[in-house]
Amino acid sequence: MFPKGFKAGGIRCGLHKKEGKKDLALFISEVPASAAGMFTKSVTKAAPVLIDIEKMKKGGKISAIIANSGCANACTGKKGKTDALSVCSETEKEFDLQKNSVLCASTGVIGQYLNMNAFKSGIKKLKNALGSSKKNEEESVLAIMTTDTFIKKAFKKIKTAKGEITIWGCVKGAGMIHPNMQGLHATMLSFIMTDAEIDSKTLQKLLESSAQQSYNCVSVDGDTSTNDTLIILANGQSKTGKLSSADLKKFAKALDEVTLSLAKQIAKDGEGATKFIEIEVRGAKTKSDAKAIASTVASSPLFKTAVFGADANWGRVIAAAGRAGVEFDPEKTDIYMGGFLTSRNGMAVTFPESKAKKALQKKEIKVVIDLKSGKESSKYYTCDFSYDYVKINGDYRS
Amino acid sequence: MFPKGFKAGGIRCGLHKKEGKKDLALFISEVPASAAGMFTKSVTKAAPVLIDIEKMKKGGKISAIIANSGCANACTGKKGKTDALSVCSETEKEFDLQKNSVLCASTGVIGQYLNMNAFKSGIKKLKNALGSSKKNEEESVLAIMTTDTFIKKAFKKIKTAKGEITIWGCVKGAGMIHPNMQGLHATMLSFIMTDAEIDSKTLQKLLESSAQQSYNCVSVDGDTSTNDTLIILANGQSKTGKLSSADLKKFAKALDEVTLSLAKQIAKDGEGATKFIEIEVRGAKTKSDAKAIASTVASSPLFKTAVFGADANWGRVIAAAGRAGVEFDPEKTDIYMGGFLTSRNGMAVTFPESKAKKALQKKEIKVVIDLKSGKESSKYYTCDFSYDYVKINGDYRS
């Protein structure tokens, strides 16, 4: 499934405390690739994020991404940065890559240094683990997972006048998920590779726009990480040459599908989640109004626990909407939960409660908020708030 | 404990579905009183809030507050407003009060109409339930409680040149608690009564300032209600006359103590809470910076679940601080949890983990974030996030 000219691999080197857990991944292109990226907006940026931002400012081509789980290399000061730089240069040396052509990413516990001995031995070990088979694909994603419970990946092929192009992407992230990246907004590690030929400036634009309708529409717990990283590499190895503007549109559409699929997978795998929730706000005056309301409802613990309890508690939906900082008329607003109209014009309607309860016991729940005041709409993806969220996060570090 | 010239009472009339639960309270002054108030900033304001805001704009004296639990009278359209007005006028009639001199407040399920027959019979029943004994005091607070697990009240006496003044306050609120009131910011019902003589304009100023350091510094779940109401009545029955500016200062200080005590009690009784958490941000450049960081940490589910697990996970504290939208230098920041320095200059320090765990198993936890960049500080009060939060809110309505 990998685009042409890319390989990946994932191994265990001992960075993650869990016995046997793969913890080091490499995504590598056989030729230097155009790159674009988006990173956490947090003031407390982790060392790998700081390093990547600096590298990408220089605008050079990128050959590989080295990423680990188990340790976030965040809140680690100067030593953290030195370590992150060293991780990149060791990878460059080991795989005979140009200087400054490797990006790095880390996820895991905050405030601990990377185990550099383990890391260095891991880089050597990766040499024999690289490939483009389904096994390689899965191993690389497994190696960046933390509390994730399944492998999250997506791919898409596009036919252009000059041949086929592939986009492949993966994402890791189940907790500390909430919109807050530079330009974009999300919280996770996500790497996308394509064999299309696209310059890095165009790539950056496409990525930012694509993130707006995907990663930027996901919330698990309203928390934002120190390590959020989204990188796309385009190596041109499809040999289809520079894309025509029609093909570029096709590419953009396919990229949107890949990132949206990945974003939804994050919500489905939210820490402790038992249900995937799609919130659609319709009939808003502006897109940003719609998004602000959808985001506020998606982040409401009261709404999310109600969905966990399969309770068609539309009052919590409208209460959350009301505090989104957006002016709208609650007395014109309709709410649908699990396919049932639960309130019209801001007031209760009679609906079959037991049927609604059944609908809300399903794995995928849709909530629609129709403001009936305009033509704009926006969707947001989240999950319910369960006992297991508390369990997972009450125990995570210790 | 009541200030002179005030009575209160609480009875059951059947508005709350729980058998035997008191659900209707009246707070009444024997003479019309100066009044000040603050209300939810939500777009979806409940009917009693809309009615109270209109009444207070007129600036007349207020004689009583009638408040119920079990039904929020929110999202109830025109009928909701008519009901709320009728509740007030029935109270005026029954207790022979001036027109427009009664305020009302409701808390409970959203989207249901008040049972007006029950309400009207309740108002009559209140006549024999009024008094100023400890029993009356407790019954009136019990009647406005919902998921609260204990009675939250506070009082303070001040000696002035001309005699003694009393301030008494109560508050109800355990869930849907997060700063968002007009000028102030909180989420609850809180009624304060004093026998001081203060004009309503001064009273409004004092109330708003007092709320800034109390209700505005509490978060339980980041949710904001449709019904937030804070009202203070001053009836002058201490007969100490207009306060001197020195006495007014004393009064302000006492009011601050009463509201702070009530605010802390809200956090202590947060839904499912097993621990009270005080977050202090020190060394900030501005007060609003300090408050923004304290508020963001207080609202972080990851931080709150870590405290539930007695985990000195300072990484989650600094990660939450980092996304507060405030510029600060993480590499200068120190964090203390449960009295232990857990990180210095944004990096881990060695601390006795098992002792820290023990400290975090206590009922009251203090977290200090020292930015070491200025002289401003701010405190915020919250509670941990437990299994019971999920249980309470997964089941609340059904």
Query: Which chain A residues are Cβ-neighbours of B39 within 8 angstroms?
Result: none
| A332 to chain B, closest Cα gap in Å | 10
Averaged pLDDT score across all residues of chain B: 90
- CB distance B325 to B286 below 8 Å: no
Dihedral class, residue B349 (left if φ above 0, else alpha if ψ from -120 to 50, else beta):
beta
Same domain, A305 and A361: yes
Of the candidates B56, B66, B48, B55, the residue with the CA atom closest to the CA atom of residue B7: B66
Q: Is the pLDDT of residue B256 over 90?
A: yes
Which tokens is A278 given? Answer: 């799609």
Strand partners, A164: A159
Residue A260's identity, in one-letter code, is L
Alpha carbon of B215: minimum distance to chain A alpha carbons (Å): 17
- B226: nearest CA partner in chain A: A319
Contact B305 A72 (CB under 8 A): no
Length of chain B: 398
Residues A227 and A330 in one domain: no
Residue A267 has pLDDT above 50, yes or no: yes
User: What is the DSSP pairing of strand A102-109 with strand A276-284?
Assistant: unpaired
Residue that is written with structure tokens 């944004």 in the block: B346
Confidence (pLDDT) at A221: 61
- Is residue B194 part of the annotated active site? The answer reads no
Buried b (16+ CB within 10 A) or exposed e, A232-261: bbbbbbbebeebeeebbebbbebbbbbbbb
A349 band by pLDDT with thresholds 50, 70 and 90: very high
- Helix, strand or coil for residue B105? strand
Bigger pLDDT: A31 or A188? A31
> Cβ contact (<8 Å) for A43 and B306?
no
- ipTM > 0.90, yes or no: no
Is the pLDDT confidence value at A174 over 60? yes
**What integer is the mean pLDDT of A294-299?**
91
Q: Taking CA atoms, what residue in A is nearest to B176?
A: A302
Residues of chain B with Cβ-Cβ distance to A326 below 8 Å are 43
User: Looking at A249, A268, A287, which one is the last position of a domain?
Assistant: A268
Q: What burial class does residue B31 get, using C-beta atoms within 10 Å of its C-beta: 0-12 exposed, 13-18 middle, 19+ buried?
A: exposed
Measured CA to CA, the distance from residue B336 to residue B27 in angstroms comes to: 43
A270 by Cβ neighbours in 10 Å (0-12 / 13-18 / 19+) ranks as buried
Annotated catalytic residue: which of B187, B229, B259, B296? B187
Contacts of B299 in chain A (CB under 8 A): 222
Q: Which residue of B has its CA nearest to A43?
A: B322
Virtual torsion, Cα A365, A370, A376, A378, nearest 10 deg: -20
Domains: count for chain A = 2
In which domain, by residue range, is B288 found?
Answer: 276-395
Share of chain B above pLDDT 70, in %: 93
More confident residue, B294 or A269: B294
Q: Residue type at A275?
A: K
Nearest CA in chain B to A176: B302
- Identity of the residue in B44, B72, B387 whose CB atom sits nearest the CB atom of A322: B44
Give the domain-ending residue among B247, B268, B289.
B268
Higher pLDDT, A287 or B148: A287
Whether residues B315 and A346 touch (CB distance < 8 A) is answered with no
Encode pLDDT of A177-197 as tens digits.
554 443 333 358 999 999 999
| Residue A224: per-residue pLDDT | 66
Q: Indicate whether B14 and B43 sit together in one domain.
A: yes
pLDDT at A363 over 50: yes
Is there a single domain that holds both residue A282 and residue A253? no
**Subunit contact B302:A176, Cβ cutoff 8 A:** yes
Nearest CA in chain B to A394: B309
Task: Say whether A346 and B41 touch across the interface (CB within 8 A).
Answer: no
Average of per-residue pLDDT values in chain A: 90
B323:A221 CB<8 A: no
Residues in chain A: 398
Q: What is the pTM of this model?
A: 0.81
CB contact under 8 A, B309 and A394: yes
Give the residues across from B284 on adjacent strands.
B376
The answer on A262 and A234 residing in a single domain is: yes
DSSP character for B242? B
Chain B residues inside the 8 Å CB shell of A300: 222-223
B301: nearest CB among A75, A110, A222: A222
Domain at B316, CATH number: 3.10.20.340
One domain for residues A339 and A385:
yes
Picking from A112, A221, A398, the nearest residue to B311 by CB comes out as: A398
Contact: B223, A320; criterion CB under 8 Å: yes
Residue in A110, A293, A373 to test binding to B, most B beta-carbons within 10 Å? A110
What is the distance between the alpha carbons of residues A33 and A96, in angstroms, rounded to a whole number? Answer: 15
Q: Give the best residue of B302, B334, B354 to mutate against chain A (max A CB count within 10 A).
A: B302
User: Do residue A43 and residue B391 have CB atoms under 8 angstroms apart?
Assistant: no
Average pLDDT (B170-195) is: 67
Per the domain annotation, does A1 fall within a domain? no
Distance, CA of B336 to CA of B369 (rounded, Å): 7
The whole-number pLDDT of residue B122 equals: 97
Identity (one letter) of the amino acid at A48?
P
Exposed (0-12), middle (13-18) or buried (19+): which is B213, by Cβ within 10 Å?
middle
Residues of A within 8 A of B173 (CB-CB) are none
CA distance B379 to B375: 14
Per-residue pLDDT, B243: 94
With an 8 Å Cβ cutoff, are A396 and B306 in contact?
Answer: yes
Instruction: Name the domain boundary from B236, B268, B300.
Output: B268
Q: Look at residue A182 in the predicted model and tell me its pLDDT.
A: 39
Annotated active-site positions of A, please? 187
Tell me the nearest-neighbour CA distance from B35 into chain A, angstroms: 26
- pLDDT, residue A175, reads 58
The H or E element that residue B31 is part of is strand B24-39
Residues A143-161: pLDDT tens digits?
999 878 899 999 999 999 8
Nearest to B217 by CA among B275, B323, B293: B293
Beta-carbon separation of A394 and B305 below 8 A: yes
Is A257 in the same domain as A236?
yes
Residue A41 with chain B: CB contacts under 8 Å? 323
Cβ–Cβ below 8 Å for A396 and B319: no
Chain A positions in Cβ-Cβ contact with residue B221 (cut-off 8 Å): 301-302
Place of tokens 């680990």: A68
Q: What percent of chain A stands above pLDDT 90?
A: 73
CATH number of the domain where residue B161 is located: 3.60.70.12
pLDDT at position B387: 78
Residues in A touching B343 (Cβ below 8 Å)? 75, 111
In whole angstroms, what is the distance from residue A220 CA to residue A175 CA?
Answer: 6
Q: Is the dihedral of CA A179, A181, A187, A191 positive or negative?
A: positive
Statement to judge: residues A310 and A365 lie in one domain? yes
Sign, CA torsion A199/A200/A206/A207: positive
Q: Chain B: nearest CA to A246, how far in angstroms?
A: 39
Task: For residue B112, give the chain A residue with the closest CA.
Answer: A348
SS3 content of chain B, % helix, strand, coil (to 5): 35, 30, 35
What was the pLDDT predicted at B305?
87
Cβ distance A308 to B394 less than 8 Å, yes or no, reads yes
Report which listed range, A64-73, B39-48, B317-326, is most confident: A64-73
pLDDT digits (tens, 9 = 90+) for A72-100: 999 999 999 999 999 999 999 999 999 99
Is there a contact between B318 and A176 if contact means CB atoms under 8 Å apart? no
State how far residue B220 is from chain A, nearest Cα, in angstroms.
10
Look up tokens 């207070």; give the residue.
B56
Contacts of A394 in chain B (CB under 8 A): 305-306, 308-309, 311
B1 belongs to a structural domain: no
Give the pLDDT mean for B225-246: 93
* Residues A199-234 pLDDT 10s: 999 999 999 999 989 988 887 665 667 888 999 999
In three-state secondary structure terms, B8 is: strand
pLDDT > 50? residue A273: yes
Name the residue of chain A whose CA is nearest to B296's CA. Answer: A223
Backbone angles phi, psi at B353, to 5 degrees: -55, -40
Distances in whole angstroms, Cα of residue B150 to Cα of each of A310, B146, B269, B297: 28, 10, 7, 26
Going by pLDDT thresholds of 50, 70 and 90, the confidence category of residue B182 is very low
pLDDT of B4 reads 97
Residue, of A77 and B272, whose pLDDT is higher: A77
CB contact at 8 A, B112 and B77: no
CB contact under 8 A, B395 and A309: yes
Straight-line distance from the first to the last Cα atom of chain A, in angstroms, rounded to the nearest whole number: 38
Summarize the confidence of residues A105-128 as an average pLDDT.
Answer: 94
Whether residues A245 and A201 share a domain: the answer is: yes
Residue B378 lies in a domain: yes
Nearest chain A residue to B328 by CA distance is A43
> Using one digit for the tens of pLDDT, what is the confidence trace for B196-215?
999 999 999 999 999 989 98
Mutant choice from B42, B353, B388 vs A, greatest count of A C-beta within 10 A: B42
A41 and A67 housed in the same domain: yes
Element (H, E) at A315: helix A314-322
Residue type, A52: D
pLDDT in the model for residue A223: 61
pLDDT digits 0-9 by tens, B283-326: 999 999 999 999 999 988 889 888 998 989 898 899 899 989 89
Question: What is the pairing mode between strands B229-234 and B189-194?
Answer: parallel
Q: Which residues contact A135 (CB under 8 A, 6 or more apart)?
A: none
Tell me the pLDDT band of A114, cut-offs 50, 70 and 90.
very high
A148/A86 same-domain check: yes
The separation between CA B398 and the C-alpha centre of its own chain, rounded to angstroms, equals 26
Q: Does residue B160 or residue B188 have the better pLDDT?
A: B160
- Give the residue-averaged pLDDT of B14-21: 93
Range B243-263 average pLDDT: 95
Residues A146 and A293 occupy one common structural domain: no
List chain B residues with CB under 8 Å of A330.
Answer: 43-44, 75
For residue B261, pLDDT beyond 60: yes
A365 DSSP 8-state letter:
E
- B388 within a domain of the structure (yes/no): yes
Distance between alpha carbon B127 and the CA centroid of its chain, in Å?
27
Domain presence at residue A70: yes
